[in-house]
Amino acid sequence: MQLLAYLLAYPIIWFISILPFRLLYLLSDAVYVIVYYIIGYRKKTVRKNFALALPHLNATERKVLEKKFYHHFCDNFAEMAKALSISQKEIKQRFVFTNFEVVHELEKQGKSIAMLVGHYASYEWLLQMNTNFISHTGYGIYKPMRNKYFDRLVRKIRGRFKAELIGVREVVPTMRQNARTGVKGVYGFITDQSPLKNSAIHWGDFFGMEVPIHVGGEMLSKKLGLNMIFAKIEKVKRGHYSCTFIPVEGNLKEIPNYEISDRFMKMLEAQILEKPEYYLWTHKRFKHRRN
């Protein structure tokens, strides 16, 4: 069944990937109608998240925001498919780094780097940053898919941009092995996912609610002597994004535990409040809130 599902879906994904962007977004608009009006994909979750995180918006404002979000949501999936065939030249024109010299300076220090990222704007296209490294290898941390054929496809797409994918259970062994063998890496941690309640070691503030926070990137950086940066991704216009890197200054071991992770979540929150339609509201970020 896994192979059958893959064989049925792959031609569609490939066809979407070769569409010119003008047609790609026309298709995305059509899919939006189906996803939003017909299927109503995770509308209850989205509306609950709006009510919890954006109580200052009235019903009319939330309705407008809801539609904007689903338009962006459909665009994101179309752009993920586009990554299967997009050229290096075109993606570099559409996803621009404002200050990659920050990463190059950290590479010169001879340490690996932990990068904290959120589910905002185009976190998938961020992977093309791996083609810009001088001495480091980029590692994308992800949850392997149950369908091994789709998992292989995801690895293929992300591998086009020189990204090494490692499953969540492989992160610590990989980082330790690289530290022993002298391999320098840039490890991308998606920090705004909701960890399992039983495994949470830190609860922090996010939109005025106390929620469990992923702190693996911060704690591993301190333990293994890594540098740290935040990746702030912004949507410039449809199909165009920019990314600014914000380095964490100072000696990490002298910064109180969890402060860096909390700082990143506050930065992400401020960005979401400015343009909330570009955040991934379909995941249950507040399901384990204490208050």
**Tens of pLDDT along 35-87?**
999 999 999 999 999 999 999 999 999 999 999 999 999 999 999 999 999 99
- SS3 per residue for 84-136: CCCCHHHHHHHEEECCCHHHHHHHHCCCCEEEEECCECCCCHHHHHHHHCCCC
Among 133, 93, 101, which Cα is nearest to 241's? 93
- Give residue-wise pLDDT tens across range 253-291: 999 999 999 999 999 999 999 999 999 999 988 988 886
Banded pLDDT at 152 (limits 50, 70, 90): confident
Position 291 scores a pLDDT of 66
CB atoms closer than 10 angstroms to residue 204: 18
> In the structure, what pLDDT confidence band is assigned to residue 155 with cuts at 50, 70 and 90?
confident
Compute the distance between CA of residue 78 and CA of residue 15 in angstroms, rounded to an integer. 11
For the stretch 123-137, pLDDT in tens is 889 988 989 999 999
Average pLDDT over residues 3-17: 87
Of the candidates 40, 39, 12, 42, the residue with the CA atom closest to the CA atom of residue 27: 12
- Residue labelled with tokens 């949501």: 73
Whole-model pTM? 0.93
CA distances (Å), origin 52, targets 20, 56, 59, 272: 38, 10, 13, 14
Q: What is the Cα–Cα distance from 172 to 169, expressed in whole angstroms?
A: 7
